[in-house]
A and B are shown apart, each in its own frame.
Chain A
Amino acid sequence: EAQVTQNPRYLITVTGKKLTVTCSQNMNHEYMSWYRQDPGLGLRQIYYSMNVEVTDKGDVPEGYKVSRKEKRNFPLILESPSPNQTSLYFCASSFLLTPSGPGANVLTFGAGSRLTVL
């Protein structure tokens, strides 16, 4: 089944304790992205990657790191989590976002990772 898998789905941690949220897709998508969703703010992009070893900042990258060593994986790293990073996180992927090409722009989302930082 074509899917984006995130782990963990739920996590409670404490301020300053490094954590990684993994994301893996099995659709051979070039493009992968992380979003956070907060009440009243909608989805905001954290980082995205157009291909292996190619990453770039989204709208709210502060406090996060990413890497793209393999095409299928795009982990989100919180080096020193703080309470303002408490949020619902989504990983998504697609074939490369381009203005043309059928289906090239459609994102497939993971089920989400709910993170609480105390």
Chain B
Amino acid sequence: DAKTTQPNSMESNEEEPVHLPCNHSTISGTDYIHWYRQLPSQGPEYVIHGLTSNVNNRMASLAIAEDRKSSTLILHRATLRDAAVYYCIPSSGTYKYIFGTGTRLKVLA
């Protein structure tokens, strides 16, 4: 399983964009990059995933480096409800996700 490195915590002002980085330098060629977030006392929630190309959905955008060794989750306008722990998870499609330590995002009003 690819090892991931994420900042322990980040802060953002409300309504500002947030860029959450993830380093996954040992990712294999067939691994997708998944992002999940976990609000307090809840199970994780899917955010976005991608393989090589940048991806957009209603929640966020995912920018994947050309060498695929890193990716960045972009929240275009952070709200207070986006305060959560964000996890990036490389996975080959078995859905057997190994969670790293994640980034705790704090959104300031």
Are A and B subunits of one complex? no
B residues near A (Cβ < 8 Å) are none
